[in-house]
Structure 1
Amino acid sequence: MKRIAFLRTTLAAAGAVTAFRPLSASPALPADTDQLEPRIVLGDEGQRVNVLGDQMTFKLTGKDTAGQVTVIEEANDPGVMIPPHVHDNEDEIFRVLEGALEVTVGGETTVLHAGDMAFGPRGIPHSWKTVGEGKTRVILTAFPSGIETMFEEIGALPAGPPDMPTVFGICARYGIRFV
C-alpha cells in the first residue's frame, strides 16, 4: 500500500477527515482542499434516511468534504443486515460505537464490539449483520464520497416490501453489486 493511501485509510478509520493531496488527480478527490469549510456536527444532528430498515444519519457528505469522504451513523436493532456485496468506487470503514456487529470481509467473519472496526476495501466482498440483544450503533466512513446519493435514492422508494430488482438496479448504477 502506498504511504499516502495508508495515511488516508488510517486517518479515516480514526474518524478524521483527511487533508492530504492525492498522488494523482482524480475527479472524485479535489487536488486542493482550500474550498473546504469547517463543520461541527453534534450527536443529534444530520439527515436521517431509512434504507430498507437500515437507520442512517448522514453526518458528513461529499458536499461537506469536497467529495473526499462520507460519514454516516447507523443505529439498528438486532437482525438488520446487508448481504454480501462489492463496491467498485469506494472503500468503507465500520467502527462500532455500541452493541455488536458481525462483519464478513474477504471471507473472514468476526463480531465487532464497541471500539472495534473493520476495513472493507473496494473490490472485496463484504457484508454485515447486527447481532446481540440491543441496538447497534456504527460509524460508516466511505471514501471517496458519493454513496450517500445512492442511499437517498433507495430511501425514497415506496413504503412496504422492497422491489429488490429495483434496489439492485439502483446499486448497480453506483458501482455496487451483490454476490
Structure 2
Amino acid sequence: MQRRKFLLTTAAALPAVAIGQNLNTPDDRTTKGFVVKANESRFDETTLLGGKSPNNIKVSSKDTANKLTVFEYIGNEKGGPPLHYHLKQDEIFFVVDGEYLFKVGDETYTLKTGDTIFLPRKVPHTFAQLTDTGKMFFMFQPAGKMEDFFRAVAASAEDSEKYKGRDLFAEHEMKIVGPPLQF
C-alpha cells in the first residue's frame, strides 16, 4: 500500500516539475553577440592587478545574468594569490602563454601553453606564475562577485596586504586558508 501511495504521489508531482522547467523567468542578459578584441576589456574597463598585470573582462556577469564571467589575465610578474577557495564558484583556467604552478587540494600541477585546469568550488587552490610574463583566460561559473573582487584588488594595488586580506576575500564569497605558493 505504501509503495502505491508513493508512486501516485510521485506521478502527480511530475507535471509540476515539467512546468517549472519551462517557465520563462526574467533574464537580464545580452541578447546580441559581441566581440572583445585581444588585450581589451568588455566595457573598456582597465583593471591592473598589482599595478602591473591587466585582468580584462571578456564576458561579463551582466552578459550572462550572473551565470558566467570570463577574464583575460596578462601577467607581467611572477607570483600568485594566497591559497583560498570559493564558496559558490567553479573556476577554469586556460594557459595561453607562460608556465604556471597550480595547487588544487593536495595535488600540484605545472601548466604550460595550451593546458587547461578545472578548480571545483569549495576546494582550496592557488597558482603561481613561474615565468616573467604569462597569459591566461579564466572563468567563474556562476560569476558571483568576482568582477567586483578584481576591481577591489586593483584599487588596493598600493596596499598588497589588503589584496591578501581575509576580509576582502570574505566579502567576495571566498576564504583564505593558506599562503601563496613558494617557488
- Long gaps (5+) in structure 1: 1-23
Which amino acid is the alignment partner of residue 167 of structure 1? G
| Mapping of residues 125-136 of structure 1, within 5 Å | 125-132=124-131, 134-136=132-134
2:150 matched residue in structure 1:
151
Q: Give aligned pairs, total.
A: 150
- Shift in Å, 1:106: 1.3
Q: Does 1:103 align with 2:74?
A: no
1:169 matched residue in structure 2:
167
What TM-score, normalized by structure 2, do the two folds share?
0.72
Aligned in 2, Cα 1:167/1:32: closer, same or farther, shift over 3 Å?
Answer: same
| Mapping of residues 77-96 of structure 1, within 5 Å | 77-96=76-95
Distance 1:148 1:34 in 2: 16
The alignment-based identity, stated in percent, is 27
- Shift in Å, 1:84: 0.7
- Out of 35, 45, 49, the position equivalent to 1:40 is 35
Distance 1:147 1:130 in 2: 20
Q: Does 1:120 align with 2:119?
A: yes
Distance 1:162 1:34 in 2: 34
Asked whether the 8 Å contact 1:86–1:123 carries over to 2, the reply is yes
- Shift in Å, 1:122: 0.5
Asked whether the 8 Å contact 1:93–1:119 carries over to 2, the reply is yes
Distance 1:160 1:127 in 2: 22
Aligned in 2, Cα 1:152/1:161: closer, same or farther, shift over 3 Å?
Answer: closer
Aligned in 2, Cα 1:166/1:127: closer, same or farther, shift over 3 Å?
Answer: closer
Asked whether the 8 Å contact 1:36–1:65 carries over to 2, the reply is no
Query: Which piece of structure 1 moves more, 95-104 or 46-55?
Result: 46-55
Q: Does 1:142 align with 2:140?
A: yes
Root-mean-square deviation (CA), in Å? Answer: 2.5
Asked whether the 8 Å contact 2:89–2:121 carries over to 1, the reply is yes
- Shift in Å, 1:39: 1.7
Which amino acid is the alignment partner of residue 169 of structure 1? D
Distance 1:50 1:120 in 2: 23
Aligned in 2, Cα 1:109/1:152: closer, same or farther, shift over 3 Å?
Answer: same
Report the 3-state secondary structure (helix = DSSP H, G, I; strand = E; otherwise coil) of the residue aligned with 1:63: coil
Which amino acid is the alignment partner of residue 177 of structure 1? K
- Long gaps (5+) in structure 2: 1-19, 178-183
Report the 3-state secondary structure (helix = DSSP H, G, I; strand = E; otherwise coil) of the residue aligned with 1:38: coil
What TM-score, normalized by structure 1, do the two folds share?
0.74
Asked whether the 8 Å contact 1:48–1:58 carries over to 2, the reply is no
